[in-house]
Structure 1
Amino acid sequence: MTGTTWDTLFGGDVGNVFKGQFGFCLARDYDPTKPLTNFSPFDTATGDWSSTLLTTDGFVGLGYFDENGLEFTPTLQTADTKAWQSRQKLLTDITEDSEAAMFTAIERTPYIEALETNLPFASMLAMGAAGYQYTKPRVTVPIHRQLIFGSIYASPQGISAWARIYSDAIMVKPDKLSMNPKTEAQGKLTLEAMPDSLSGFAVRTLREGPGWRARGGTTGTPGTPTAAAGSAGVATLTFTAPTTPNGPFTYKVCADASTTAITTGNVTVGGTTTNPILTVSSQTAGAHTYKVQAIGSNLSASAMTAASNSVTVT
């Protein structure tokens, strides 16, 4: 029997190392008319941060944090069921599963002061407003927010971005506020994620960016399709899917010498993952050949296949 060396077994890849080199936190007062069900802070085409976060989406930036950045603390507590007749646990149930985020803001802005005092952002005067003031409520109630935490790492393959969303969060622990000549006035805050019935989740984590997408690798070219005529105006294409690991794949189809893809509404995917069958409808009568392009889950597009056999569509 032939052995192998240790470095083929542990699966390490330096490209998967991530550091939170830079980052931010965006916040807005909770708005039940704006659930975050399918929300993403990223631009789907480029993988960069969405340009609407501070405009249409209504988030505000919380400014500079101290050099410790962001810290997320999960709490997982369990309860065991034991028996007299066994020295091993019979059952383990999870009794708490929560998470809190902590950061230390080093800018003294109305947004930080609103978080510290449990006041809505909308109740605060603007930065620099004459007669600026705010008053701690006589009866403090939690003010709910929606938060986006973001971090980036300049990886060798490009910028890799990480984001965590709290669909509903409250500030649960303000720290002391010191005014002295040695240290800037800091706002050390802990915010806890809460389940949001409208968004359908409490905590969501997303990864994006050119560096992240590059980790998926390039998309291999599918096998040359075999075309067959179907019912009137229909052709079917059978081929093998790419063997590269960045699936699942979507497919574009071009007819004859055209480089313009057939409308996706006229292409239906069937078959299996490894042997897809594309049904192409609304084809003009006559002889046609077809080429297929695969697009990976990281939006990496393959080369077009060679042209299929010629098929006569009725």
Structure 2
Amino acid sequence: MTGTTWDTIFGGDVGNVFKGQFGFVLARDYDATKPLTNFTPFDTLTGDWSTTLLTTDGFVGLGYFDENGLEFTPTLQTADTKAWQSRQKLLTDITEDSEAAMFTAIERTNLIEALETNLPFAAMSAMGTAGYQYTKPAVTVPIHRQIVFGSIYAAPEGISAWARIYSNAIMVKPDKLVMNAKTEAQGKLNFEALPDSLSGFAVRTLREGPGWRARGGTTGTPGTPTATAGAAGVATLAFTAPTTKNGPFTYKVYADASPTPVTTGNVAVGGTAANPVLTVSSQAAGSHTYKVQAVGSNLSASAMTPASNSVTVS
């Protein structure tokens, strides 16, 4: 028998290492008119952070934290069913599945003081306001927030970004506030994620950025399409899909020598994932050849295929 060496089955990849080198936390008072169902803090085209986070999205940044950054603590508790006739557990049920986030703010701002005291952000005066003050409520009730935690890592292939969203969170444990000459006044805060019926989730994690997309690799070129004329103004293209790992793929079709792809609405995808068939409609009558370009799930675009055989569209 022929064996193999450990490194062929190890499967490690240094490119998958991630460090939270820098980061931030954004928050806003819970807004039922802005559910986070399909929300992303990223620009879907570039993979960078969205420019609307601090404007139309209404989030505010919570400033500097101590060097420990962010800490997320999951809690998973179970209950076992046992029987007299067995020494092994028969069933295990999950009785709690929750998560809390903690950070220590080192800026003493109106936002941090609102979080510490369970006051709405809107109830706080602006920084630098003459006569600034805030009063602890006589009856404290939890103020619900929507929170975006963000972190980045300067990976060799580019910036890799990580984000976690709490669609409905409350501050559950403020720490002591210390005033002394040695250490800045810190605000250590713990937040618990709760389900949000409008958004449909409690915790969501997203990955983006050029470094992350590079993990998907480049997109291979599809096989040369075989064209067939169909009904009036219609041509079908059959080809093999790329074998690269960053599927599922979308496809662009280029007619003749045009550098502009056929309008997406005029291209219908059929066939199978391995052997797609594209139906191209609204084509001018006459002879045409077609090229196909694949776009991976990481938005990496392949080279165009060679031109198909020529077909005559009626």
Fold equivalence (TM over 0.5): yes
- 5 Å-filtered alignment, 1:197-276, equals 197-276=197-276
2:11 is the counterpart of 1:11: yes
- 5 Å-filtered alignment, 1:58-97, equals 58-97=58-97
Structure 1 portions without partners, runs of 5+: none
* 1:24 partner SS: strand
Structure 1 counterpart of 2:313: 313
Task: Please provide the CA RMSD for this pair.
Answer: 0.5
Partner Cα distance (2:170, 2:261) in 1: 48
Partner Cα distance (2:152, 2:10) in 1: 26
Partner Cα distance (1:29, 1:39) in 2: 16
Partner Cα distance (1:107, 1:275) in 2: 57
Structure 2 portions without partners, runs of 5+: none
Structure 2 counterpart of 1:287: 287
- CA deviations 1:204-244 (Å, max 9, x no partner) are 00000000001110000000000001111111100000000
Q: Which 4+ runs in 1 deviate beyond 2 A?
A: none
* 1:265 partner SS: helix
* 1:205 partner SS: strand
Partner Cα distance (1:313, 1:91) in 2: 64
Partner Cα distance (1:244, 1:196) in 2: 38
Structure 1 counterpart of 2:149: 149
Partner Cα distance (2:288, 2:146) in 1: 53
Partner Cα distance (2:4, 2:44) in 1: 42
Structure 1: which amino acid aligns with 2:126?
A
2:121 is the counterpart of 1:121: yes
- 5 Å-filtered alignment, 1:175-186, equals 175-186=175-186
- CA deviations 1:107-128 (Å, max 9, x no partner) are 0000000000000000000000
Partner Cα distance (2:105, 2:8) in 1: 45
How far residue 2 of structure 1 moved from its aligned partner, in angstroms, is 2.4
Partner Cα distance (1:266, 1:192) in 2: 48
Count of residue pairs the alignment pairs up: 314
What fraction of aligned residue pairs are identical, expressed as a percent?
Answer: 88
> What is the TM-score normalised by the length of structure 1?
0.99
Partner Cα distance (1:200, 1:283) in 2: 43
* 1:213 partner SS: helix
